[in-house]
Amino acid sequence: MTATAVSAKPVRAAQKGQQTKAIIVDAALALAAQIGLEGLSIGAVAEITKMSKSGVFAHFGSREELQISVVREYHARFEQEVFFPALEAPRGLPRLRAMFANWMKRTSTEIDSGCIYISGASEFDDRPGPVRDALVESVSIWQAAVLRAIVQAQSEGHLRADADERQVAFEIHGLILALHYEARFLQVPGSIGRAKVGFDNILARSATPDAPKAGAAAPAGRRLKTVR
């Protein structure tokens, strides 16, 4: 056996290990969306993935580490679906609208599957520890991105300079929370449409006469820095 073949073995083993870990996290994320992070266990994930408990444990070492990995994977997918595509829109209201539209698109699918951010907040709101810290960090990163998009809309002259940017961000976030409650828990018809109207109403209260209308093209400007 050549030295090259011997040295390639650890590389292949590491790649296989990463692939296996990704499969486990994917299965755990799907399970957590249905039963919550608190419902996750090494045994439950092992059963779903058809692996041994010791095999799952070898990749994470603890239930807590598995939960944290699920939070991080959920956040990565959220960024890929909601945040990064919105960066293609021009700064200001077009970008803020794109962020909300992507958020709504993802939320509409999570009405059936569940949202890790929302269920996790309910489970870990009064439970200090690494899992809660991971949830708080992920949600805070997204809220900071929304706030920054609002501030940029002000700097572009699309929203009034005297508008309370934190209040606008608070109300937008509140729409998503209300939508989950109304559509998922109460199963009220038309909830998605009301959330969209609510978003338009929030912007209308702070919009300037020069603000671009929904769907209107706007000149591209500087790009929003990625939040990581």
Q: Which two tokens stand for residue 152?
A: 């940029």
pLDDT digits (tens, 9 = 90+) for 111-161: 888 899 999 999 999 999 999 999 999 999 999 999 999 999 999 999 999
pLDDT digits (tens, 9 = 90+) for 15-29: 777 899 999 999 999
| pLDDT at position 217 over 60 | no
The secondary structure of residue 117, as a DSSP letter, is H
Please tell me the predicted confidence (pLDDT) of residue 214. 84
Please tell me the predicted confidence (pLDDT) of residue 226. 38
Q: Contacts by 80-85 with C-beta closer than 8 Å and gap 24+?
A: 81/105, 81/106, 82/106, 82/142, 83/142, 83/145, 83/226, 83/227, 84/226
- Tokens 């929304």 belong to 146
Is residue 205 classed as helix, strand or coil in its secondary structure?
helix
pTM of structure = 0.84
Please tell me the predicted confidence (pLDDT) of residue 9. 60
Which of 171, 210, 162, 180 lies closest to 119 in space, CA to CA?
180
On whether the CB atoms of residues 100 and 214 are closer than 8 A, the answer is no
Mean pLDDT calculated for residue range 190-198: 96
> How far is Cα 210 from Cα 124, in angstroms, rounded to an integer?
43
Residue 216 burial (CB count, 10 A): 9
Sequence-ordered alpha helix ranges (H) in 87-156: 93-113, 116-124, 130-155
Q: Please report, for residues 9, 24, 66, the alpha-carbon distance to residue 29 in angstroms, rounded to integers and kept in the order given.
A: 30, 9, 10
Residue count (the chain): 228
pLDDT digits (tens, 9 = 90+) for 89-117: 999 999 999 999 999 999 988 988 889 99
Please tell me the predicted confidence (pLDDT) of residue 16. 77
pLDDT digits (tens, 9 = 90+) for 4-63: 555 556 656 567 778 999 999 999 999 999 899 998 999 999 999 999 999 999 999 899
> How far is Cα 101 from Cα 120, in angstroms, rounded to an integer?
23
Please tell me the predicted confidence (pLDDT) of residue 3. 55
| pLDDT at position 83 over 50 | yes
Mean pLDDT calculated for residue range 197-212: 96
CA angle (79 as vertex; 58, 212 as ends), nearest 5: 175
